[in-house]
Amino acid sequence: MAAKWLVPMLAATWLLLPAAAECQQPSDTFRSAAEMELKVKNAVADLTVPESPAFAALGLSPETIIRPATPREFATALLNGVDRSGHVQTGLAIEVAPYLVYAGSRVTLSDYRASRVTQVLSHTTASFATTKASSDEDKTVRLALGVHATLYDSEDPRLDNDQLLNCYADMPVFRPLVLPVSPDLTVRAQQERQLAEDRRTFETSVLIPGVEACRTKFQRNARWNGTSWIVAVAPTWIAPTGLAGDLDGGSLAAWTSLSYGFDSVPGLQNNAQVTGHFRHLSNELVTDAALAGGKETRETTIAGVRFRAGTTGFGLSFEASYIRTAAAGRADDTSSRLAFGADRRLADNLWLTLSMGGDHGVSAGTPSGLSMLGALKFGLSKDPSITDEQLRKLIAAPK
């Protein structure tokens, strides 16, 4: 009964409080509320496609990633993956855009802008990672190969930017009057130094300031809510002996996210986005003492949808997700989750935050297999929970 009145009361307060709250500063109480809210946010299913599927499939966040830029570097990186005795080297993390490595020198900006296939190939990356079991005795090595492709991106900075490119095109090019070709080697060395100095001076005093001026004037601001379609897949293999020759099939993970940014829809095209996400993990071997036999092979499917809308002073988010886990010898587990959040800016660096979340699904401790979890959080924080971090990440993400 209390809950029946709680939500409208808090909602009314949330709408009416701004003027009164402008003078307030975040306190420990507010910080605590924000931390609680963060827990709700963290409980929301991740509906993004990993940039490096191989690392995600192995649960890795490697500190050092090899990013080969030439075919030679790529081949060297792969050859270093196996030692002379055939053992897979562990701790390896490689990320590469194969098309650009092998054909990048022939891909002009004109080619790119004219061909959708070129755009997709240029935005397709492969990742490769290896890891070993945590104990010294266990020689098991896991290996993953991932492919990530952006099939469509309405905010591709290489497209729809003619004004910026025309501005770049108006800048002069470096034109030396003398080449360092004197037959006198001393003179030639001096000519080379002069040419290098003149080139540097042109770059720093003409080109770089010119580029900055063009960007300030004409750079198209990418919408945070662009329309895009991203897919990724990552098979994994396991070598119980650590030898490359003993690699055997492991799991297969696949992700896809389709976002729609209400392109050309007045009132929404800069303020709203809806994202559908689907993920499937097959043949995942899970070891757990609580399971019959200590382990099982699972198939996991996650589907979700998220709606986000926001302005500079207001943010709104709604997410719904569904998770299904299947394994031989037992009934399927299914659960669903709903989450809602809203932010309203009260003053600079002061946001009023409201978030609610709820789960519905299987609980191992309940004979019926059903449980309900709910949460309602309300408080003040220095940063908006929806429009700030998530959107900054989206905007900053390399296209």
Q: Which residues contact 151 (CB under 8 A, 6 or more apart)?
A: 120, 229, 230, 231
Nearest to 348 by CA among 378, 314, 382: 382
Q: Is 239 exposed, middle or buried (0-12, 13-18, 19+ CB in 10 A)?
A: buried
Taking the least distance from each CB to other proteins, the nearer of 195 and 272 is 195
Query: What is the rounded CA–CA span in Å between residue 45 and residue 275?
Result: 13
Q: Both tokens of residue 138?
A: 């266990």
Q: How far is the CB of 103 from other proteins (least distance, A)?
A: 8
Residue 63: DSSP 8-state = S
Query: Which stretches of the chain bind other proteins, using CB under 8 A?
Result: 67, 69-70, 100, 104-114, 118, 122, 156-158, 165, 168-169, 171, 173-182, 185, 188-189, 191-192, 195, 199, 202-203, 207-208, 210-211, 398-399
Q: Both tokens of residue 216?
A: 């300030």
Spell out the SS3 assignment of 235-260: EEEEECCCEHHHCEEEEEEEEEEEEE
Taking the least distance from each CB to other proteins, the nearer of 65 and 291 is 65
Taking the least distance from each CB to other proteins, the nearer of 183 and 365 is 183
Q: How far is the CB of 48 from other proteins (least distance, A)?
A: 17
Alpha helices, DSSP H, located in 310-397? 389-396
Taking the least distance from each CB to other proteins, the nearer of 157 and 249 is 157
Q: What are the residues facing 335 on neighbouring strands?
A: 323, 361
Q: Which residues contact 356 (CB under 8 A, 6 or more apart)?
A: 7, 40, 339, 340, 341, 374, 375, 376, 377
CA distances from 369 to 300, 334, 336, 361 (A): 17, 9, 13, 7
Q: How far is the CB of 201 from other proteins (least distance, A)?
A: 10
Taking the least distance from each CB to other proteins, the nearer of 56 and 101 is 101
Q: How far is the CB of 151 from other proteins (least distance, A)?
A: 17
Taking the least distance from each CB to other proteins, the nearer of 37 and 156 is 156
Query: What is the rounded CA–CA span in Å between residue 161 and residue 163?
Result: 6
Taking the least distance from each CB to other proteins, the nearer of 121 and 238 is 121
Tracing tokens 């119980």 back to the chain, one arrives at 240
Taking the least distance from each CB to other proteins, the nearer of 196 and 285 is 196
Q: How far is the CB of 206 from other proteins (least distance, A)?
A: 9
Q: How far is the CB of 108 from other proteins (least distance, A)?
A: 5
Q: How far is the CB of 117 from other proteins (least distance, A)?
A: 13
Query: What is the rounded CA–CA span in Å between residue 250 and residue 358?
Result: 33
Asked if residues 251 and 279 have their Cβ atoms less than 8 Å apart, the reply is no
Q: How far is the CB of 221 from other proteins (least distance, A)?
A: 12
Nearest to 20 by CA among 316, 384, 344: 344
Taking the least distance from each CB to other proteins, the nearer of 105 and 135 is 105
Q: How far is the CB of 43 from other proteins (least distance, A)?
A: 31
